[in-house]
Chain A
Amino acid sequence: MPGQSLGLAMPDPWTLANFVTVFGNGFAVRALWNSVLQSVGGVILVGATATLAAYALSRSSLPGKGAVTYILLLFSSVVSGSAAMVPIFLIVSAAGLIDTHLAVILTFAGGLLPTAMFILRDFIDSIPKSYEESAMVAGASPVQAFFDVALPVIRPGIVVIVVWGFVNIWGSFLIPFILLRSDTNMPASVAIYSFYSEAGTPIVTLLAAYSLLYSLPVIALYLFVSWKFGFRFFGGIKA
Chain B
Amino acid sequence: MTSEPASDRPRRKVRNFALLSNRAGAAFLTPAGLLVSVFVIVPFFWVIFVSFTNRTLLGKTALNPEFVGLANYFSLFDPGNFLQRGQFGFSLILTVQFVLASALIGQALLGLLLAWLIQTVPPWVKRITETFVIAAWILPEVVIGFAWFAFLDRDQGTLNAMLTSVGLPRGDFLLDQPFWVIVVFNTWRGAAFSMMLFGSAFSSISPSYFQAADVAGATSWQKFRDIGLPLIRGHIVTDLILITMWTFNTFTPFLLTNGGPSYRTELVSIYNYRVAFHDFQFGKGAAVGVIMMLINLAFALIYLSIGRKKKG
Contact = CB atoms under 8 A, between A and B. Distances in A.
B147 A8 contact: yes
B47 interface: yes
A138 interface: no
12 contacts: A8-B158, A49-B32, A49-B35, A52-B29, A52-B31, A53-B31, A60-B18, A61-B18, A75-B41, A80-B249, A178-B273, A238-B137
B21 interface: yes
Contact of B282 (A73, A83, A90, A142): A90
A114 B36 contact: yes
Given A45-B35, A77-B296, 10 more contacts: A6-B157, A7-B151, A8-B150, A9-B158, A78-B44, A78-B297, A82-B268, A86-B289, A90-B50, A178-B273
Contact of B19 (A9, A45, A48, A133): A133
B39 A110 contact: yes
B146 A207 contact: yes
B39 A106 contact: yes
A5 B156 CA distance: 6
A117 interface: yes
Interface residues of B, number: 78
Given A60-B19, A82-B269, A86-B276, A76 B140 contact: no
A129 B26 CA distance: 19
Which 10 A-B residue pairs are closest in the complex by CB-CB distance? A110-B39, A60-B25, A82-B269, A171-B140, A53-B32, A56-B28, A83-B292, A87-B43, A60-B20, A61-B18
A219 B136 CA distance: 11
A113 B40 CA distance: 10
Interface stretch (A12-20, A21-29, A151-159, A228-236): A228-236
Interface string A188-223: 110010000000001010010001001100110010
Contact of A60 (B22, B31, B46): B22
Q: Would you call the interface of chain A mostly helix, strand, loop, or mixed? A: helix
A89 B268 CA distance: 18
A36 interface: no
B293 A167 contact: no
Interface in B126-173: 130, 134-135, 137-143, 146-147, 149-151, 153, 155-158, 161
B22 to A, nearest CB: 6
B296 A80 contact: yes
Contacts of B272: 82-83, 85-86
Contact of B286 (A73, A81, A87, A143): A87
A180 interface: no
Nearest to A70: B304
Contacts of B28: 52-53, 55-56, 60
A77 B147 contact: no
Interface in B1-55: 17-22, 24-26, 28-29, 31-33, 35-36, 38-44, 46-47, 50
B20 A88 contact: no
Contacts of B155: 6
B222 interface: no
Given A70-B304, A87-B289, A111-B39, A218 B156 contact: no
B20 A83 contact: no
B292 A82 contact: yes
Interface in A73-129: 73-91, 106-107, 109-111, 113-114, 117, 129
Interface string A39-64: 00000010011101101110111110
B64 interface: no
Candidate in A85, A117, A232 with the most chain B CB atoms within 10 angstroms: A85
Given A72-B36, A173-B251, A86 B285 contact: yes
A7 B196 CA distance: 30
B303 interface: yes
Given A87-B47, A145-B19, A232-B196, A109 B282 contact: no
A202 to B, nearest CB: 8
A48 B28 CA distance: 10
B289 A142 contact: no
Contacts of B285: 85-86
B184 interface: no
B21 A78 contact: no
Which of B40, B157, B252, B293 has the most A CB atoms < 10 Å from its CB? B40
B43 A91 contact: yes
A48 to B, nearest CB: 7
Nearest to A195: B146
A191 B138 CA distance: 19
Nearest to B33: A53
A82 to B, nearest CB: 4
Given A7-B161, A215-B139, A50 B20 contact: no
